[in-house]
Structure 1
Amino acid sequence: MLLAWGDGLAAQGRDVDCGAAATQSALNMCAAAAQAAAEAEMARAYEALEMRLSAEGRAALGEAQGAWEVFRRQHCAFVAGGVAGGSVAPMIYSQCARAQSAARTRELSALMVCAEGDLACPR
């Protein structure tokens, strides 16, 4: 993956090849880009589910997602806590957030596949 970093590296005239990233700064940027991609995929799954829900269901989903986002921030801060203040900390946090977002995307997507008569399926 070749990454042209908006304000950072691209402004300096450099691109980051995430497959060959060799500096911690480049690794951090690539991890952040992977996190952003996972969050965008999660947002698409969220929006698709939201469109299928009643107004009450959308409100409940919004509350649940907000609580999940707090959990993700706190959990990933905990995971990266062992390297807090170090140059690797942003990468560890981003890797955790990417993994958590990918898992949440799977959860949201599964909620859209309801068998006939499934009473536990959100409406």
Structure 2
Amino acid sequence: MPNNRALYVSFLDQACGVIEPQEGLQYEFTYAPAWLASQRRGISLSLTPQTAPFPSVTARAFFGGLLPEGAARRHISQTYGVDDLDDIALLRLIGHECAGAIRVTSAPVEPGSSRRLIRWMEPDEVRE
């Protein structure tokens, strides 16, 4: 059963770890045992595979960097009524739409689920 507070991190639809909120606006990231067992690379040079949780200062540098900055961040936080310093709240809201291969979701991701989110456009739908 999923942890209601945790956020689940996936890389190309493969579960790779969990973000656990801590006191205040702090959080930790821990790689999933299956990810470590597969001997895959880390999702970031600063998050090299290890069994111990990464402290907030290290995790925030990577996961906070997935979020918009400046006016876009303020707009999202005002629209949804969350603190613009609260990475966890923002990742919970928009983490499933991160650029690149990383997705952050409130529930574990099923393999292949991102393919269902993509609608490929026909050539006549694309404007130059």
The two structures share one fold, judged by TM-score above 0.5: no
Q: Counting strand residues as a fraction of each chain, which structure ranks higher? A: 2
- TM-score using structure 1 length: 0.29
Q: Counting helix residues as a fraction of each chain, which structure ranks higher? A: 1
